[in-house]
Structure 1
């Protein structure tokens, strides 16, 4: 599937928010409402100029400030209105929120190790990844269903929420979702509509999608 419009199916761009102070400090954010740094705002402005070239039809964002302010930069250059949905918030991580990875390993070492092994874990007493997918994926599917046949939806959310949403939309087993690498701040992944459902076209991209030229397009 190419990176161009023209009867080639709908596209979903899942865009992670820009940098925050807690990102820099290595602190678990979860649903804590942390603002973008100046660097994060700059990342959002740069990425917005690139994503605007895709001529998106709609923007939906998590209502947490770091995602909402990232989305606002794309709205400013496209003229589109942003709709907000709490279903796109990051995974709630309970008592882990606000702690660094080192602090979590020290205080909740067994739980942390189980999470790193890929076991279903309520980090800090919070949500399971499947529960995040249960609330986030339907938001994306509902908005995508309203697109024109070759339309593009931009979803502005968070790294963990985006990974679980991609896994759910691709029909992957939850224990394989970790195989999808993380997203850098203000990078995005692109899903395209294929004859057998959604396909992952781009992952952790920071430039515009290019057509797939070769035997597997």
Structure 2
């Protein structure tokens, strides 16, 4: 029996920024890649060029868009911006280190996920807020692909966990079990078609010495 065509979506976290390096909460601050982040994206781009993607989407925040631009240069694809792929808005926590944030908002120490920790922080999104925009965004990415095609979406660490949970139908516990993707690492989701469930093919790919292959 011949194998039926499938769809694949590569979900790529942006490269490093200075705020990543100093461990400051970025949220939707428009922080650009630092020198290391550009080098990470330049290293990841030719690897991603090998997957044969036909579409390339990106969050409109600078760190994601700059990462996507490196992928575009390696693939010849045009970057399609989608603000629904943005990171959590962290509200008044923006720019703070963890210690600074907990001193200002002590309830943050009790949360497990980022969305839980942000409850009560003025101006911040919670898990439901982010899920309501990013899951439709990645669903639209899959819908835009024809069978046999592959796409790449560049987004952000915490938001991508919720995107994966939505694509795969995972509950909160399963989503929380995932570590945040390292900068310029990615996950791959397969949609096999014929009514079969999507599968997470790999998570944390980028540094192949430490990547975790799931199936």
TM-score (norm 1): 0.88
Q: 1:187 to 1:118 in 2, by over 3 A?
A: closer
Encode CA deviations 1:160-199: one digit per residue, 9 max, x unaligned.
1100100111111234321111100000000011353221
Cα distance in 1 for residues equivalent to 2:164 and 2:135: 8
Partner of 2:153: 155
Query: Mean Cα displacement is larger for which, 156-165 or 174-183?
Result: 174-183
- Alignment map for 1:167-206 (pairs within 5 Å): 167-194=165-192, 195-206=195-206
Partner of 1:115: 111
Structure 1 residue ranges, 4+ long, deviating more than 6 angstroms after superposition: none
Partner of 2:36: 39
Encode CA deviations 1:116-144: one digit per residue, 9 max, x unaligned.
37883544231111221110111111121
- The answer to whether the 8 Å contact 1:60/1:83 transfers is yes
Aligned-pair CA distance for 1:8: 4.2
Higher RCO (Cα < 8 Å, 6 or more apart): 1
Secondary structure at the residue paired with 1:120?
helix
Secondary structure at the residue paired with 1:116?
coil
Cα distance in 2 for residues equivalent to 1:204 and 1:29: 21
CA RMSD of aligned residues (A): 2.2
Q: How many residues align?
A: 206
TM-score (norm 2): 0.89
- The answer to whether the 8 Å contact 1:16/1:67 transfers is yes
Partner of 2:103: 106
User: Where does the alignment leave 5 or more consecutive residues of structure 1 unmatched?
Assistant: 1-5
Q: 1:10 to 1:183 in 2, by over 3 A?
A: same
* 1:10 lines up with 2:10 in the alignment: no
- The answer to whether the 8 Å contact 2:7/2:148 transfers is yes
Aligned-pair CA distance for 1:207: 5.7
